[in-house]
Amino acid sequence: MTEASGSEPSIFTRIINGEIPADILYEDEDCICIKDIAPKAPTHLLIIPRRPIPRLADAGEADKALLGHLMLKVGDIARQVGVDEAFRVVVNNGAGAGQTVFHLHIHLLAGKTYDESALGF
């Protein structure tokens, strides 16, 4: 179960709380960045806000600064890991779009060539 259902904290909340180990590459008061455990590219990182928002569509006006912070961190982290010349950013919104953990997170993918015509992978 996930935070969207209200029953249990998501795996990302449990990682943020230190209950589950993860390879944390970056953290600040608003977010963390971890390596994806099932990478879809040579570099596949997740940027996760500490404050859980189930889906991007659930974000509101009060989340504007946090969402901006997350996007800026994508660029900072891409530079930190040396992939700032070419990377893809993906946010899945809802199960039909491939979201499996209902705690907003941004995928940073790099290390392979992407084609604009293949956005659906």
Instruction: Give per-residue burial for 54-66: e unless 16+ CB within 10 Å, then b.
Output: bbbeebeeebeeb
Backbone angles phi, psi at 45, to 5 degrees: -115, 155
Distance, CA of 110 to CA of 11 (rounded, Å): 24
Exactly one of 44, 103, 105, 107 is catalytic; name it: 105
- The yes-or-no answer on residue 107 being catalytic is no
Residues noted as catalytic = 105
